[in-house]
Amino acid sequence: MALLLIRPASFGFNAETALTNTFQKKPAAVDSAIAAQQEFDAFAEKLGKAGIDLLIVEDTAEPVKPDAVFPNNWISLHDGKTIVLWPMQAASRRIERRNDIVEMLAARGYTELVDYSHHEKQNRFLEGTGSMVIDYPNRIAYAALSPRTDGGLLRTACRRLDYKPVAFRTIPVNGVSVYHTNVLMALHEKLAVICEDVIDPRDSGMVKRMLEETGHKLLPVTLEQMHAFAGNMLFTKNRNGEDICIMSAQAYASLDGAQKETISRFAAIVYGDIRCIETAGGGSARCMLAELR
């Protein structure tokens, strides 16, 4: 499986997205754009050395797109060589959608295009694999409802893509819902990394039951670890078919020895220092990766 990444040209703090993303923090006076490029390059090099196939696309200088490094919110790829374009809440992020990337993927055989971006006109949003954490073998899409994740649109998309929707509520942090599902859970075929503490008690039993019924061992992470992006991991495979777990250095440092050992039983851990991207962008390793399934 290959991963699509966008090398950022104009990375920076986005005040519009910060309204619904409590993970973002305005950085001190540093050149975030240059720092993000340096972090991106080192991170991509680590992924390549782990045997992961990468499709790296350069961000365009114009228009300026501070969050272009997070492509998984506007595009996802599914079986049947299907491309899906997703509606995003922040107007400043909608310009990230690029026809040239869609055409590049079409040349690789992704000829079926599903476009939900028109739902932005009705203020209905579903931000790709940020809003949905998908259990592909069991065809289940987990989604934490939030201003960026519309339950009705989730059901519509799941009917089209043949997934079972599992929507749940979260406990607001500082009065704001957890903005994306992929910061609180990550799925391997047999392991679920999940922050149970942030899931509404009315829904947590249902979510845990579904995960256990599909053969997942639960690996809880704390709220503090979630805020260090310990839920924002991606389990994937390299070109040799070996299981890899991708995360940030901050996420890795937040895990205790037993948690690291548990993950390592299922996948080799690869991590990189992307602290500037995490701080100003409010997203981590998983957000930077779109899977070419």
Mean pLDDT of 32-43: 90
**Is pLDDT above 70 for 156?**
yes
pLDDT attached to residue 25: 56
pLDDT attached to residue 279: 86
**Is pLDDT above 70 for 14?**
no
Mean pLDDT of 91-105: 95
Report pTM.
0.92
Instruction: Write the pLDDT tens digit of every residue in 44-67.
Output: 999 999 999 999 999 999 998 989
Query: What DSSP string runs through the chain?
Result: -EEEEEE-SS----HHHHTT-TT-----SS-HHHHHHHHHHHHHHHHHHTT-EEEEEEPPSSS--TTTT-GGGTEEEETTTEEEE---S-HHHHTT--HHHHHHHHHTT--EEEE-GGGGGGT--B-HHHHEEEETTTTEEEEE-BTTB-HHHHHHHHHHHT-EEEEE-B--BTTB--S-GGGTEEE-SSEEEE-GGGB-HHHHHHHHHHHHHTTPEEEE--HHHHHTTTT--EEEE-TTS-EEEEEEHHHHHHS-HHHHHHHHHHSEEEEE--HHHHHHHS--TGGG-EEE-
pLDDT attached to residue 114: 98
Mean pLDDT of 245-265: 98
Mean pLDDT of 100-110: 96
pLDDT attached to residue 10: 79
pLDDT attached to residue 18: 43
Instruction: Write the pLDDT tens digit of every residue in 215-237.
Output: 999 999 999 999 999 999 999 99
pLDDT attached to residue 177: 81
Query: How does residue 7 score in pLDDT terms, banded at 50, 70 and 90?
Result: very high
Mean pLDDT of 96-112: 96
Look at 266 and 34; give whichever has higher pLDDT.
Answer: 266
Instruction: Write the pLDDT tens digit of every residue in 169-218.
Output: 999 877 778 889 999 999 999 999 999 999 999 999 999 999 999 999 99
pLDDT attached to residue 256: 98
pLDDT attached to residue 19: 45
pLDDT attached to residue 13: 52
What is the chain's mean pLDDT, rounded?
93
pLDDT attached to residue 31: 64
The superfamily (CATH) of domain 2-292 is: L-arginine/glycine Amidinotransferase; Chain A (3.75.10.10)
pLDDT attached to residue 12: 60
Q: Could you tell me the residue ranges of all domains in the chain?
A: 2-292
